[in-house]
Amino acid sequence: MKNVIITGASSGFGKLSALTLARKGFKVWATMRNLNVQNKENKEELLAIAKSESLSIEVIDLDVTNQESVDKAIKMVIKTDGKIDTLVNNAGLMYVGIAEAYSLEQVKYQFDVNFYGVLRTVNAVLPHMRKKKNGLIINVTSVAGRLNFPHFSIYGASKHALESYSESLSYEVAPFGVEVKIVEPGPFGGTNLLYSGPKEANTEIFDAYGEHKNTPKTILNNLNNFYKSDDALDPQIVADAIAKLIETPKGKKGMRVVSGLDYGTIDLNERLAKVQTKLVESLEMGHLLEVN
């Protein structure tokens, strides 16, 4: 039975992916932080569903901002299963606000969750995947990792960084039989992500923006209203996209999969992919474009 580790499985895309993959016959390691406090109910709910449907789901503690927590979780999976087939980096946090008014500490934490957290989990699983000469890493970014939305400055920067890291990493590990892929969701309701970020710490700067300080709130309200409309998309689409990517044979997967409203991201990806390929080939590294 192939196994999958999913970070941020307490709700949203992570929870839906855990259930979707388990229902397809995968063994799922659904990870979340603060199992006995913050996510106690989420843990119990997921395990109750797994029990009622006879699904292979293990819920374990993993805080992507804590290296010891990451290492402990990965060691548990290896000790139990002896391998890691797929890692889905889904855990994330979204800051929407006045970039200037966020403290440096707040910005660092945004990156600690969205970017450094991915590096921690990836670096923990790669030695095992390279040894097996097989493995798949899926990093969930966002269309905001390719496009630039007003007042998504800090969040977008973390996702742009993750996009760049993921694609470059895919070349580095291809000779070892490991694939790195990206899933880029558009806006979806029901994920708890929209209001997951804190308010700006520097109230003096925030107030100096006058009437413009309310623009981020307007954006959030407009998105929230869209989520409640008949045009809103089901976040299950993202879970299905992740499942399809995992089920696609090695070497047949695209670098990026866009899920939901793309705002032109699909076209952008197609055009940039040609540029990227030419760049790698110009460096006489074309063999890194194909996974072994």
Tell me how far apart the alpha carbons of residues 227 and 237 are, in angstroms, rounded to a whole number.
Answer: 14
- Are the C-beta atoms of residues 198 and 106 closer than 8 Å to each other? yes
- Catalytic: which of 102, 155, 195, 263? 155
Task: Give the closest residue to 207 by CA, choosing from 285, 101, 105.
Answer: 101
- Are the C-beta atoms of residues 84 and 139 closer than 8 Å to each other? no
Task: Give the closest residue to 67 by CA, choosing from 29, 117, 110, 31.
Answer: 117
Question: What are the phi and psi torsion angles at 25 (to 5°)?
Answer: 100, 5
- Are the C-beta atoms of residues 185 and 140 closer than 8 Å to each other? yes
288 exposure class (CB count in 10 Å sphere: 0-12, 13-18, 19+) = middle
Strand arrangement of the beta sheet that strand 27-32 belongs to: 57-61, 27-32, 3-6, 86-89, 135-140, 178-185, 256-259
Report residue 222 as tokens: 């407009």
Provide the CA 233 distance to its chain's centre, in angstroms.
18
Strands 256-259 and 86-89: unpaired
- Are the C-beta atoms of residues 147 and 263 closer than 8 Å to each other? yes
- The long-range contacts involving 164-171, CB below 8 angstroms and separated by at least 24 positions, are 165/115, 165/118, 165/119, 166/137, 166/139, 166/141, 167/255, 167/276, 169/122, 169/137, 170/255, 171/280, 171/285, 171/288, 171/289
Q: Is 195 a catalytic site residue?
A: no
Active site residues: 155
